[in-house]
Amino acid sequence: MTSILTNTSAMSALQTLRTINSNLSTTQDRVSSGEKVGKASDNVAYWSISTTMNSDNKALNAATDALGVGAAKVDTAYAAMDSAIDVVNEIKAKLTTASETSVDKEQVQLEVTKLQEQLSAISQAASFNGENWTVQADAASATTVVDGFIRDSAGAVKVTSATFDAGSYAMFSAISSGVGTGGVLGAVMTIALTSASTQGDIDAFLTTVQTALDGLTDGAAALGALSTRIDLQDDYSSKLSDAIEAGVSRLVDADMEEESARLSALQTQQQLAVQSLSIANSSSQNLLTLFRG
């Protein structure tokens, strides 16, 4: 039956065209944005996961940047201790030279004094962004380096850090008027040769120097271990960030080959639906032929 009041064929064709247009719009959005899940309504679960993981990844990248600052602090402190070891070895050599009875001990002391001044200068200059690990007033003080960001199974988040016992390995506990006191090198700064110094005095000074060298060596080793930890963490953070980004991509990124094929198919369907609607609308015009004489 054909009705001039209700064209069911046109209604069906129009509904089909609306569905195709809706699907076409969705596909065009995916092609233009590159995302199949761009908002919560696209897929609540995947959108929620991707939003959380993108946030965590940004925090992880920030922690990696902070790790670079920590690495700079470690490198600065290590450079100071490495240089201090060379200077203390020079003092050790000068004291050994002073053991010779014909050597003018006061002249040797002039060189030792300059080396002591160099130790203070090295420590005073070992500052990065206002933080100096080689000068610590508290022997129990510790410094930390941010090395990561984690989220546990319960959803709690926290920043992880590596610790360095700066107070235990500090070259000095204080530097006053350019002169270092206390710390690992405090006793070395008190060495003073005179013409009256005996071999026993020199041997005691050598023991003091050796103790300082042992302390500097331990501190440099601890910094070296921390530097290795930072390098490993930096490499791991980079790989972890890439893995998170790839995982999120699998959830929300559009398959461009698939979407391209779907777009072509929907455009063809749209053209056919428009023609179908045109045919359905023209069917009522065919009724006029029934009334022609």
Q: How far apart are CA 67 and CA 7, in angstroms?
A: 71
Q: Other CB atoms closer than 10 Å to residue 189's CB: what's the count?
A: 20
- Per the prediction, the chain carries an average pLDDT of 86
Q: How far apart are CA 161 and CA 78, in angstroms?
A: 19
Condensed to tens digits (0 to 9), the pLDDT of residues 238-247 reads: 888 889 888 8
- Please report which confidence band the pLDDT of residue 123 belongs to, taking 50, 70 and 90 as the band edges: very high
Q: How far apart are CA 179 and CA 158, in angstroms?
A: 41
179 pLDDT more than 80? yes
Q: How far apart are CA 117 and CA 49, in angstroms?
A: 59
β-pairing, 174-176 with 157-164? unpaired
What percent of the chain is predicted at pLDDT more than 90?
A: 38
Condensed to tens digits (0 to 9), the pLDDT of residues 101-114 reads: 888 999 999 999 99
Condensed to tens digits (0 to 9), the pLDDT of residues 124-146 reads: 999 998 899 999 988 888 888 88
Instruction: Classify 180 as helix, strand or coil.
Output: strand
Helix (H) or strand (E) holding 163: strand 157-164
Condensed to tens digits (0 to 9), the pLDDT of residues 73-99 reads: 999 999 999 999 999 999 999 999 998
Structure tokens given for 8: 């069911």
0.75 exceeded by pTM: no
282 pLDDT more than 70? yes
155 pLDDT more than 80? no
Cβ contact 235:83 at 8 Å = no
- Give Cα 268 to chain centroid, integer Å: 49
Check residue 3 and give its pLDDT.
64
Closest CA to 204 of 190, 222, 215: 190
The mean pLDDT value for 158-185 works out to 90
Check residue 5 and give its pLDDT.
62
Check residue 43 and give its pLDDT.
84
Cβ contact 60:241 at 8 Å = yes
Domains and CATH numbers, the chain: 38-280 (1.20.1330.10)
Condensed to tens digits (0 to 9), the pLDDT of residues 20-43 reads: 888 888 778 778 777 888 788 778
Higher pLDDT, 262 or 290: 262
Cβ contact 276:13 at 8 Å = yes
